[in-house]
Amino acid sequence: MVATIARLAALAVLAILGVMLATLLPGAAGVRACGENGPFDFDTYEAEPYTVTYSRAIELATAGKAVSASHSVAGQTINVLYQGLLKGPRASRTTASSTALTIPPTIYKSIVWAESNWGNGSLSIPYGGVGPVLRSFDCGYGLGQVTTGMTNNGGPPTARQALIGTHFLYNVAEGVRILADKWNSAPRFRPIAGEGDPEALEDWYYAIWSYNGFAFVNHPLNPNRDPLRPAVFPCGDGSAPGASAYAGRFNFTYPELVYGCMRYPPKVKGQPLWQAQDFDMPHMEVEAVAQAFLPGRFLGCEDDGFSGGCPLMDYPTAFTIPAPDEPATQSAGAAAEETVVVTHKDSTPPINPALAAGILGAPRLSFEGPDAVSLTSSSPVSIQPVFVYNNGTWLGPYRVRVSAPWIGVRHAVDPSTRTIDGGVSIGAEVPIVIKSDPRVIAGNGYVSSLLIFLVSDYLLGGTSKGSVTFESLLGVQASFTVEVTAINTGVAAPLPRRAIIVAVASDEP
């Protein structure tokens, strides 16, 4: 219960941030990310035990081992393969990415905590339950709050969008790809920290900044930030410097937030979610670093559209700081001490790639329902059920594809009449939790029970014909199509509205 309360409290704060940003930036990020047709509605599974499952998923994804191959659904390719990284300083940066170069896992673990508090589903879902995916005001989905590529351009979601929105491993894999893209955008569009070494935690500073949007709001010398704040966010650790005076995350830039949780891991039931990491934040007392972070250098590069990658913002992360002048009272002949600053590596042990098979399972979906239905707009009970079963194991994600906007699909038991663009059906070996405190299990396995209905506001006059197709996204490929005939009697039924779940800020492409 303690972990649940902590997550609710943290996400409530993030929800406030979402409302604030939506108010300050009307019609900006939200419209651009969601598209004119509004957000997609996906169901997902909130893993239990999430501390183990999500940790493994992130470690697999950052090692490039989460997904071994791309695959196609209905002719659409789903590719979240790890693309690898570039390496080196600006003068000798590699030109081809290498999958042998990987992302320090604690970086993305901390990013996921900053984005979603390690929650893949909305606040209404207990761990071990099924329900709406966590979605921000600007259409960031799931653990990584993925916005890139998730715009609704009209019609049903692509198979790739649906899998990212329904399955936590694919969501994390795509989030890792986004972070890798931010790293690889240097030196063309981003500056380089240190020697551009992917193993050095310090050298990820600009890539971490870019995951949240490479904007001046996250500049460490932004005058709107308290200059007396600690170097990093205390991340709930009461013993961290400034923990009492600067407990709020809004006091810190995004890199300070992420690095802070790397240094002070959040705890669940008294246990840290990951190993605390050692690193150095930019040493502003060093002239080369101070010059790199002059606000004018960022703003000038921003005015140029970041073309050229802001070379004046490159700064060293490993160096020797000469000792200050010796005081007169120091005894003659005493050796002056120098400070040696080195970079640090992630201490997380390598993960066994074989664990990916267990997280993916072996889903095998089947569908039950009529081949054709005839629905009348005048009858609010003119609906037709369809059931999605998983006869295999673990998570079976699926997509719902309608041929016309007047066809809707929703859950059989859902008073909000929320439309469904994709969801999951779960194997019989998995207990499904419907309440967390006290913990209540509904049984093993989850059958997705759906209803086809008419969105009468979009109906044309007379008789219309269309279809709805249910497609499995993983495992054994299967699909099921229902031909739908709609008879518009001219009596309008209530139009179901999509519910925008305000949650957390997300990656800015």
Helix (H, G, I), strand (E, B) or coil at 447: coil
- For residue 336, name the pLDDT band (cuts at 50, 70, 90): low
Q: 94-102 long-range CB contacts below 8 Å, 24 or more apart?
A: 97/180, 97/184, 99/64, 101/198, 102/62, 102/63, 102/64, 102/198
**What rounded mean pLDDT belongs to the chain?**
88
Cα of 498 vs its chain's centroid, Å: 21
- For residue 292, name the pLDDT band (cuts at 50, 70, 90): very high
Distance from C-alpha of 31 to C-alpha of 187, rounded to nearest angstrom:
30
DSSP assignment, residue 413? Answer: S
Higher pLDDT, 413 or 96: 96
pLDDT tens profile 488-501:
887 544 444 333 33
79, 99, 174 from 83: Cα distances, Å: 10, 6, 11
Residue 335 has pLDDT above 90, yes or no: no
pLDDT tens profile 414-466:
767 789 999 999 999 999 999 988 999 999 999 999 999 988 788 888 899 99
Report the half-sphere exposure of 214 (CA within 13 A, side-chain side): 25
Structural element, H or E, at residue 321: strand 319-321
DSSP assignment, residue 460? Answer: P
491 is written with which tokens?
A: 């009596």
Which strands sit side by side in the sheet containing 422-436, from one edge to the other? 372-376, 479-488, 462-472, 395-402, 422-436, 439-446
Q: Which of 461, 444, 397 is nearest to 45 (CA)?
A: 397
Q: For position 381, what pLDDT does the model report?
A: 56
Position 165: which residue type? G
| Helices 168-184 and 159-166, axial angle in degrees (round to 10) | 110
Q: Say if residues 70 and 81 touch (Cβ distance below 8 Å).
A: yes
Higher pLDDT, 36 or 101: 101
- For residue 311, name the pLDDT band (cuts at 50, 70, 90): very high
pTM for the model stands at: 0.89
Distance from C-alpha of 91 to C-alpha of 509, rounded to nearest angstrom:
26
Q: Say if residues 428 and 444 touch (Cβ distance below 8 Å).
A: yes
Residue 2 has pLDDT above 60, yes or no: no
pLDDT, mean of residues 85-101: 98
Residue 188 has pLDDT above 70, yes or no: yes
Cα of 53 vs its chain's centroid, Å: 15
DSSP β-ladder status, 71-73 and 462-472:
unpaired
Looking at the chain, how many residues does it have?
Answer: 509
Residue 12 has pLDDT above 50, yes or no: no
Q: For position 327, what pLDDT does the model report?
A: 52
- For residue 32, name the pLDDT band (cuts at 50, 70, 90): low
Helix (H, G, I), strand (E, B) or coil at 188: coil
Residue 332 has pLDDT above 60, yes or no: no
Residue 330 has pLDDT above 70, yes or no: no
279 is written with which tokens?
A: 């690193």
pLDDT tens profile 347-371:
999 999 999 999 999 999 999 999 9
Helix, strand, coil share (%) of the chain residues, nearest 5: 25, 25, 50
- For residue 25, name the pLDDT band (cuts at 50, 70, 90): very low
pLDDT, mean of residues 316-331: 70
- For residue 374, name the pLDDT band (cuts at 50, 70, 90): very high
pLDDT tens profile 119-175:
999 998 999 999 999 999 999 999 999 999 999 988 899 999 999 999 999 999 999
Distance from C-alpha of 486 to C-alpha of 488, rounded to nearest angstrom:
6
Q: Say if residues 141 and 503 touch (Cβ distance below 8 Å).
A: no
Q: Say if residues 470 and 361 touch (Cβ distance below 8 Å).
A: no
pLDDT tens profile 227-283:
999 999 999 999 999 999 999 999 999 999 999 999 999 999 999 999 999 999 999
Please state, for a pLDDT cut of 90, what percent of the chain lies above it.
78
